[in-house]
Amino acid sequence: MLNGLAKLLRRFTAPQRPIPEALWQQTLASYPFLTRLSEPDQLQLKHLSSQFLASKEFSGAHQLVVTDRMALAIAAQACLPVLHLGIRYYDEFKGIVLHPGPMLARREARDAAGVVHGYSEVLAGEAMEGGPVTLSWQDVAASGTSDALADSMARGYNVVIHEFVHKLDMHSSAGGSANGCPPLPSRAAQAHWQVTMQAAYAAFKEKLAMAERFGGEPPWLDAYGATSPAEFFAVASEAYFVNREQFKHAFSDLTLLFDGFYLRKADF
């Protein structure tokens, strides 16, 4: 079901029918990491959110009704990674599907002997290659409640940012698959990105292994980041936006790299 605000923004340009101020302020208050943006950046985020709502189609699974508040909460968080990059990086898809809670996805894996095994995976969200973004509204909403929000920020967790960083990552690949390297303008920039990310990824996996095998101090980031370079990029990015202070303390090199890309502070 397409929400009413998105319908309005489809019929009128954003300057004619801006996001209602009360609804916008409610959204900012629900996600304090958004209020830390400068006033110009908040205005830019609001503008991008309007464009996002006008260009995307929201639907609810299992009879979930998608309200304006829900759609705007997702739009504002989704637009944070592209605040200084532009909404065009989300042009290749239109659909956003909200599920009431976590989703159960069927997967297949081939073992070393070539035998295919089926299994189920519980997901809070998924960015599909060439297709929609699916999200668990339960997980999205939990990031906007006081107790859960404090826990999410402490852990650097945010499912919306995570899945939309995957979409940003997919934009850089000719095959449309995420590989942990976003759209960069030159081979030199790509090389610098890969060297820095690979070093951080290897160090993260080593620290995680030490914690699991020998009881060492666990890494701050979600262990899911060790799954692949693409997941490490998404997990690191959500932490960068949600809890920059802790991220900078834990990953100073990645903070500089991400500042260069997300904030356009380098020749990217």
pLDDT at res. 130: 85
Contacts of 112 (CB under 8 A, 6+ apart): none
* Ranges in the chain annotated CATH 1.10.472.150: 4-155
pLDDT at res. 224: 94
pLDDT at res. 5: 55
Judge whether residue 1 has pLDDT over 70. Answer: no
Instruction: Give the residue, 182 or 121, on which the prediction is more confident.
Output: 182
Fold type of domain 4-155: Cyclin A; domain 1 (1.10.472)
- pTM: predicted TM-score of the whole model, two decimal places: 0.87
- Gap between the terminal Cα atoms of the chain: 38
Quick: pLDDT tens for 138-167.
999 988 655 555 566 677 899 999 999 999
pLDDT at res. 16: 40
How is residue 73 written in tokens? 């909460």
Quick: pLDDT tens for 98-122.
999 998 776 566 767 666 656 667 8
Q: Mean of the pLDDT values across residues 50-77?
A: 96
pLDDT at res. 84: 96
Q: For 10-19, 46-55, 115-124, 228-237, which range has the lowest pLDDT when averaged over its residues? A: 10-19
